[in-house]
Amino acid sequence: MITVNHLTKRYGDFTAVDDISFTARPGSVTGFLGPNGAGKSTAMRMMTGLTPPTSGEAHVLGRRYADLPNPGRHVGVMLDASAQHPGRTGREVLTLAARTIGVDATAVARGLATVGLTDEEAGRRVRNYSLGMRQRLGLAAALVGDPEVLVLDEPANGLDPQGIHWMRGLLRDFADAGGTVLLSSHLLSEVQIIADELVIIGNGRIVAEGTTTQLLEQQGTRVRSLDDDALEVALRAANIDVARTPAGLVAQAPAAAVGRVALDARIVLTDLAAGSAGGLEELFLTLTAADSREGIAA
């Protein structure tokens, strides 16, 4: 578990992180989202003891990260996959990480296999790695101590579609086994698929927090059927506001309520999902428009 209480970081007159509080729970993936410069990386650095907070605190597994005995055995951290010695081989990088936290050589072979780096690739110098291979190596280093918590900043950066699919499964399995995952990513479609809960920040402050389903339902429910005209009539008769869009109907009610109306009206649904067609991306842009460099997109 990660518990963040009133965490704040100021640099002179600039407040990078402004009084944020949230919890990332065991058995779940928490998406930590925000525009560039919103304070995500600074917050994650404070959680993992790399940057001292101005005020507030962050606890991992009930303690400050710095107070954990051998923290690498409890928390796997990947904040910058490019921060690896370019002159060492992948195997050497992972071996040093394993020795630092006191795990044996079998953990190195297991870690390389887990992230899909072959023996030949593990023998190459890191300077010759692609960005995606560096991401895999960084994740192997985060996992080498068999931690209970993962703190990952843009772990899918540089991965191809197959690699992204693989990482999604890996993190989902980790959480389903009782682990805690805090994940920062700009790949919003992937976050929407994998994240159980979301924390969205803008200008250093939390602008939305809750389960993925709850936050997406704020945009209504997207629904299509074999008879949208009849469904629209049934929804309005149930006092549910509904609008037509190119993607189908958008009803201002939870998906369960929409499905119940359709069932009662004997209308066959072909699509039912929380949120509008834009999903998490639309929600994110709406909530963070004031903090975006581009402002509100057309």
Say whether both 145 and 17 belong to one domain: yes
Q: Which residue has the higher pLDDT, 119 or 219?
A: 119
- What pLDDT shows up at residue 290? 61
pLDDT value at 163 more than 80:
yes
- What pLDDT shows up at residue 186? 86
pLDDT > 70 in the chain, percent: 95
Q: Are 216 and 193 in contact (CB under 8 A)?
A: no
Say whether both 182 and 249 belong to one domain: no
pLDDT value at 268 more than 90:
yes
Say whether both 134 and 31 belong to one domain: yes
Which of 3-12, 61-70, 289-298 has the weakest average pLDDT?
289-298
Say whether both 124 and 263 belong to one domain: no
Indicate the number of domains in the chain. Answer: 2
What integer best gives the mean pLDDT of the chain?
89
- What pLDDT shows up at residue 67? 94
pLDDT range class, residue 278, cuts 50, 70, 90: low
Residue 138 falls within a domain, yes or no? yes
Q: What residues make up the domain containing 246?
A: 220-277
The secondary element (H helix, E strand) that includes residue 176 is: helix 161-176
Residue 241 falls within a domain, yes or no? yes
pLDDT value at 295 more than 50:
no
pLDDT value at 16 more than 70:
yes
pLDDT tens digit sequence for 196-240: 999 999 889 999 999 988 888 777 888 999 999 999 999 999 999
pLDDT value at 298 more than 50:
no
CA distance 138 to 85: 12
pLDDT tens digit sequence for 63-110: 999 999 999 999 999 998 778 889 999 999 999 999 999 998 899 999
- What pLDDT shows up at residue 98? 93
**Tokens linked to 225:** 């059927």
- Residue located via tokens 């428009």: 289
Q: Which residue has the higher pLDDT, 245 or 270?
A: 270
Q: How much is the pTM?
A: 0.81
Say whether both 143 and 120 belong to one domain: yes
pLDDT value at 281 more than 90:
no
- What pLDDT shows up at residue 276? 57
Residue 65 falls within a domain, yes or no? yes
Q: Which residue has the higher pLDDT, 181 or 295?
A: 181
pLDDT value at 254 more than 50:
yes
Say whether both 161 and 224 belong to one domain: no
Residue 41: closest CA among 186, 198, 179? 186
Q: Are 201 and 33 in contact (CB under 8 A)?
A: yes
**Tokens linked to 38:** 């919103």
- What pLDDT shows up at residue 217? 75
CA distance 291 to 204: 9
Question: Residue 8 is part of a domain; what is its CATH number?
Answer: 3.40.50.300
**Tokens linked to 109:** 């072979």
Residue 283 falls within a domain, yes or no? no
Residue 155 falls within a domain, yes or no? yes
Residue 17: closest CA among 61, 55, 59? 55
**From start to end of the chain, where are the E strands?**
2-11, 14-24, 28-33, 55-60, 75-78, 149-153, 180-184, 197-202, 205-211, 221-225, 242-245, 248-251, 269-274
Residue 291 falls within a domain, yes or no? no
pLDDT value at 296 more than 70:
no
Q: Which residue has the higher pLDDT, 193 or 46?
A: 46
Say whether both 57 and 89 belong to one domain: yes
- Residue located via tokens 């600039």: 14
